[in-house]
Amino acid sequence: MNTTEITRKAQHSKFYLWLLNQGLFKMIPFNKPHGFKIAEISDTRIKTFLPYRRSNFNHIKGIHACALATVSEFTTGFLLVSRLDPKKYRIIMQTLQMDYHYQGKMDAYGVFEIDDHWLDEQVYQPLTNSESTVVKCEVKIYDKQENHLSTGNVHWQVKPWDKVKTKIS
């Protein structure tokens, strides 16, 4: 699956958005039972869908904190990977901090936005003087009535592949 091409086409086509989500279910099988989907995507913005359903419930039938955290990770990580060349850069989550504001009792959406200026300032410029950089990505999740459920701060380490050192077993 050429995710770069499908992601580009998904910006303007419901069919390719559906195709992208189907491919992501296969590539990230952990997310499939939870029903997380990309609802909208552009070069600068992603909106992900978190359904209110049993697989995402906590013990009081609200959206589970871990479902909110996972959607925060997925939302920020996918937009970063779609903007940074995965053949050039490795991204790996360093820290995930969640603040919970309101109990989710209906479908929810997470939104994350970046632009060329942000990428230049947060990724490309720091990498001119360092082997890696850590970028803080904030994603806010709201239910369909616009109640602010959570704020996720996901810190991603970005490193050029030629600077990655792996231990050979």
Kindly report, residue by residue over 89-104, the tens digit of the pLDDT: 999 999 999 999 999 9
Instruction: Please state the domain extents for the chain.
Output: 3-163
Say if residue 169's pLDDT is above 70: no
The mean of the pLDDT values for the chain is: 94
Given the candidates 3.40.120.10, 1.10.3720.10, 3.30.565.10, 3.10.129.10, the CATH classification of the domain at 3-163 is 3.10.129.10
Edge-first strand listing for the sheet containing 148-160: 37-41, 45-50, 108-113, 133-143, 148-160, 89-100
Confidence of residue 21 (pLDDT cuts 50, 70, 90): very high
- Residue-level pLDDT at 25: 87
Whether the per-residue pLDDT at 2 is higher than 80: the answer is no
